[in-house]
Amino acid sequence: DDYEHLLEIIRKAIIATDLALYFGNRKQLNDLMQAGALNINNQAHRDRVIGLMMTACDLCSVTKLWPVTRATTNDIYSEFWGEGDEMKKVGIQPIPMMDREKIDEIPDGQVGFYNAVALPCYRTLAEVFPASTQLLKACRENLSQWEKIVQSRIAQGAPRSPVKNNAVKHEA
């Protein structure tokens, strides 16, 4: 019935916000597009598109004006650090992005995250929905801001973070 179908769509959309599922979903969408086989009337294809849209919504802070993006990143890291602080209290060493002592790694981590997660997401979204190209452009502009911060730190003699261009997990 319609109600059950709607609940299933909502369930799939919620699950789609898990970045672990995003990578496979985006790959399958890209494969469908490259083969010219993407059919929005096919429920399985539509579920993939909805999943991509949910990821894009989940990551939308990367498409905002730079001051908003930067403030949101600060808020996200504050949340991570709170969790890391709790881990340290019980003797567990948190991963670097959850360790407030690794604050200098944020810009490199963001560059890696944008390159591995955000840009591919918005690139695929723009291929499916060309009207969303502005989101991809804004994401690229914010990546450029993070890259400027990294380059400025290097120019000032700060060591390059060990994070380099590896992706960091992002939950917002």
Supply angle C-alpha 55, 60, 64, rounded to 5: 165
CB 123 within 8 A of CB 29: no
Helix 119-128, helix 133-155: angle, nearest 10: 160
At residue 167, the pLDDT reads 38
* Token representation of residue 126: 């723009």
pLDDT tens digits for 119-171? 999 999 999 999 999 999 999 999 999 999 999 999 988 776 654 433 333 33
Higher pLDDT, 15 or 65: 65
At residue 13, the pLDDT reads 87
* Token representation of residue 132: 């969303």
**Burial code of 34-67, b = ≥16 C-beta within 10 A, e = fewer?**
eeeebeeeeeebebbbbbbbbbbebbbbbbbeee
At residue 132, the pLDDT reads 97
Higher pLDDT, 169 or 114: 114
Whether pLDDT at 172 is above 70: no
Q: With bands split at pLDDT 50, 70 and 90, how would you rate the model's confidence at 80?
A: very high
At residue 161, the pLDDT reads 63
CB 135 within 8 A of CB 65: no
E strand or H helix at 120, and its extent?
Answer: helix 119-128
pLDDT tens digits for 21-70? 999 999 999 999 999 999 999 999 999 999 999 999 999 999 999 999 99
CA distances from 4 to 9, 11, 15, 81 (A): 9, 10, 16, 40
